[in-house]
Amino acid sequence: MSASAPLPQAEPVTPERFGPLEIEAKPAARAGILTVGETWTYLGVLVALVIVNVPTLGTDQWPFRPGPVEPEGPLGPVVRMARNHWDTALLRSFALFAGVIIALYALVAARAFARRLGPLVALSAIVLGLLVLPAVVLQAGLRDATAPWFFTNDSTYQIELAGDAVADGENPYGHEYGSAGLERFYTMNGTVGSRFHVAAEHFAYFPGTALTASVWRVLPSPWDDYRLFVALTTLGAFLAMLAFRAPLGLRLALGALVVANPLAIRAAWFGNADAPSILFLLLAFALVTRSRYTAGAVMLAAAVLLKQFALVAVPFLAIIVFVRAARRAAWQAAAAFAGVTAAGLLPFVIADPSAFWDDTVTYGVETYRIVGYGLAAMLVRVGLLENRNDDYPFGLIALVLWAPATLLLLRAQLRSREPWIGAAGFALSIFLLIFIGRVFHSSYLLWPLAGAILAALLAFPARIPVVALPTPSRPEVASTRRRLGRSAHGRRASRRE
């Protein structure tokens, strides 16, 4: 054979010999297990949350002067551990202990069992619990050791009083709270002050807070503290994030961020009751993106009943439903939302329409003094408003600025037809509404944060295409080896010639 003659070519081995290629849709996180890199990334997120929270845990507590502290009952040991006062060093020690647990877990992070969903959720529960619960438990214990108007927040205390009113068959709207103990909160020493506080005559929340408080208050003291309910719903948000269709590592990381950001941790112990509504809002988005439209509508109605801010999410979630669902399913979801919302609101509206409107709408946009550092406070600082009790044209500003911006966001969502655009639109809309409001509390920022986290979660596809090659049978493998062997023998013989 000539040296220039072409060498005999082996017959190419193609996947077709083993059968056709199959494109399978498999979850991005294989069978609920992370890679080593993903596990270390998640552990890094937990460590970062610990580090961020340690310097701020327990700061800006109300300056109560309660007098003697007598720790008793089931939370007495916690109070004695804190030496009968609000001990931020103790709270930060618990947070640092959470960091130690993460470090110990990292030692076995390369093992397969440590990268599975179950152990990672257990680790998350321990770490997040150590960040959220100690401050809430210490507050409840100190309150139990003194009086109900100490070591609480006026909004939480009023929600509890409203729950008691509902349990007694009374209407929480138009109710007189000034003689029920709330008046002793504002003096910080338990006495009745000479100054009247406007909150004593208005209950600013939708009925869901009073209804849940009426149920929670059935528990014996000190477990009937409403902040324990808020803390549990704060932790429950982590499980709600796991209900989405998204890569497992992303769900874990963003779930931890929802629970353990400094705003959420402070809100739980300080007494800002946003977490229950946010939990139901997250569940609403999770269920809708899983095509459980009616259940998602019920969760959204529960979120609205617990906090008025959830109303901003209604049009954005409605577009997701009407774009994705069949017409009948979409209308069923709309009917479920309307029915649950009406069932929660109408009994109180019918009982006293003017009191309901004055407490839940007028009080927030006209009656309450300007608070915080939003647009209204800025106008006070520059002199366009005389003082913090001056009239502020919230309705006009909302009509001129917020409403057109929200319509543009809804239009962008309709054009894109992407759920994450709806979540991002909600985040931007609620942030703008909070900024132009008469009252701007830092806890309100939990709402745009939740919307931004939802957008990040929904922007990532839950599934990736995976090329699956069927495993060849033993006869096919043997036949292929013989053919390749003959081809290699022929090439060696050609080279010798």
pLDDT in tens, 276-305: 999 999 999 999 999 999 999 999 999 999
Q: Is residue 308 part of a domain?
A: yes
Specify the pLDDT at position 17: 38
Beta bridge partners of 279: none
Specify the pLDDT at position 196: 73
Q: Higher model confidence: residue 404 or residue 497? A: 404
Tell me what the mean pLDDT of segment 444-465 comes to: 84
Q: Is residue 201 part of a domain?
A: yes
Q: Is residue 401 part of a domain?
A: yes
What is the distance between the alpha carbons of residues 188 and 195, in angstroms, rounded to a whole number?
Answer: 13
| 3-state secondary structure (DSSP) of residue 49 | helix
Tell me whether strands 22-27 and 463-468 are parallel, antiparallel or unpaired.
Answer: antiparallel
Specify the pLDDT at position 372: 84
pLDDT bin (cut points 50, 70, 90) of residue 460 is: confident
Range of the domain at 333: 31-468
Specify the pLDDT at position 494: 54
Tokens of 374: 């939003």
Specify the pLDDT at position 181: 87
Tell me what the mean pLDDT of segment 392-416 comes to: 95
pLDDT bin (cut points 50, 70, 90) of residue 468 is: very low
| 3-state secondary structure (DSSP) of residue 22 | strand
**pLDDT digits 0-9 by tens, 228-280:** 999 999 999 999 999 999 999 999 999 999 999 999 999 999 999 999 999 99
Q: Is residue 477 part of a domain?
A: no
Specify the pLDDT at position 1: 46
In percent, the amount of the chain with pLDDT more than 70 equals 86
**pLDDT digits 0-9 by tens, 56-67:** 999 999 999 998
Q: Is residue 497 part of a domain?
A: no
Residue 2 has pLDDT above 90, yes or no: no
Specify the pLDDT at position 387: 86
- What's the mean per-residue pLDDT of the chain? 87
The amino acid at residue 433 is L
> Distance from CA of residue 104 to its chain's centroid?
27
Q: How far apart are the first and last CA of the chain?
A: 6
**Where do runs of H (alpha helix) occur along 271-367?**
275-289, 293-306, 313-324, 327-351, 353-357
Q: Is residue 8 part of a domain?
A: no
Specify the pLDDT at position 496: 52
Tell me what the mean pLDDT of segment 379-391 comes to: 88
**pLDDT digits 0-9 by tens, 86-144:** 999 999 999 999 999 999 999 998 888 889 999 999 999 999 999 999 999 999 999 99
**pLDDT digits 0-9 by tens, 422-440:** 999 999 999 999 999 988 8
Specify the pLDDT at position 202: 86
Residue 469 has pLDDT above 90, yes or no: no
Specify the pLDDT at position 294: 96
What is the distance between the alpha carbons of residues 78 and 57, in angstroms, rounded to a whole number?
Answer: 17
**pLDDT digits 0-9 by tens, 317-371:** 999 999 999 999 999 999 999 999 999 999 999 999 999 999 998 887 877 788 8
Specify the pLDDT at position 110: 86
**Polymer length of the chain:** 497
Specify the pLDDT at position 9: 47
Rounded to two decimals, the pTM is: 0.86
Q: Is residue 22 part of a domain?
A: no
pLDDT bin (cut points 50, 70, 90) of residue 474 is: low
Specify the pLDDT at position 371: 86
Number of domains in the chain: 1
Angle between helix 446-458 and 419-436 (nearest 10): 170
Residue 484 has pLDDT above 70, yes or no: no
**pLDDT digits 0-9 by tens, 5-45:** 444 544 444 444 333 333 333 443 445 889 999 999 999 99
Q: Is residue 179 part of a domain?
A: yes
Give the H or E element holding residue 419: helix 419-436
Tokens of 152: 């609480």
**Spatial contact of 259 and 213, defined as CB atoms under 8 Å apart:** no
Query: Closest by alpha carbon to 239, among 248, 252, 226?
Result: 252
